[in-house]
Amino acid sequence: MSQIQGQHPHPRIHPLPRPAEPRGLRRGVSLLPSLFTLANLFCGWACVIYAMRGDLTTAAPFIGIAIVLDMLDGRIARMTGTTSEFGLQLDSLADLISFGMAPAILAFQWGLAPLGRLGWAVGFLFVTAAALRLARFNIQAHTDKRYFVGMPSPAAAAIPAATVFYFPDGMQTYPQALPALAVVLVPALLMVSTIRFRSFKSLDLGTKRSYRGLIALAALIAAVASRPHEVLLLMAYAYLASAFVGLAMSRLRSHQASEPQQKA
């Protein structure tokens, strides 16, 4: 049979329109990363309050909790597609409190106070370094996501936090307080340096090695649960040392690569 003139043999099937996402659900999803950021900010505030009371054992873990929350808010924003300039600025302001002001006050109450004006000047230097580090991170072009340029402020805050958590008694005299200068100055200088630190944001547990990653994560959680003071201190200082190890290995490789050219 001949087809009716003008009729398409295969009429186009238009897809059904996707149901609109409920407005309340979209608002809840967009607010979720900000809630984690505010929780991060609250941990920094709680650390300051407990440190001023002299309860350093309670104050120090709040910085660790803030680090975990800071890692989660960015991931949740990317997973839900709710990244925004407002969220970025809010995150930076919260980080300045939790990883700049809070660890500086914690370190001052722990070991810088006996040093007098030198102590509060070093504490202010740490806050300034954290502010500069965050400002540089917001404006720099992220060419290689595997590395940070300069020590990240959460990792820098982990140095005094883990040290105070391991030695909560604090320093009482001027000679005893001198080692506290290194605990604050070294991470402060590394924050504004150009030394590259490894970033773990690119790690993906959805690959073929996901089982290995989950086993390693489970082992880490078990280690922290069983020996929190020692494991957290080791993690903080191991990350600090990893940058110098990587820098030494990079220079060694470049030196070995230049030797054949010189001989030629």
What is the per-residue pLDDT across 111-128, written as a single tens digit (0 to 9) for each? 999 999 999 999 999 999
Task: Convert the pLDDT of each residue in 154-207 to its tens digit.
Answer: 999 999 999 999 999 988 889 989 999 999 999 999 999 988 888 876 555 555
Alpha helix positions (H), the chain: 23-53, 56-80, 85-96, 102-107, 117-139, 153-166, 174-191, 210-226, 228-263
Question: Looking at the predicted structure, is the pLDDT value of residue 76 above 60?
Answer: yes
Q: Which residue has the tokens 């805050």?
A: 157
All structural domains of the chain, each given as residue ranges with its CATH number in brackets, are 31-202 (1.20.120.1760)
Q: Is residue 170 helix, strand or coil? A: coil
Name the residue type at position 59: A
pLDDT(65) > 90: yes
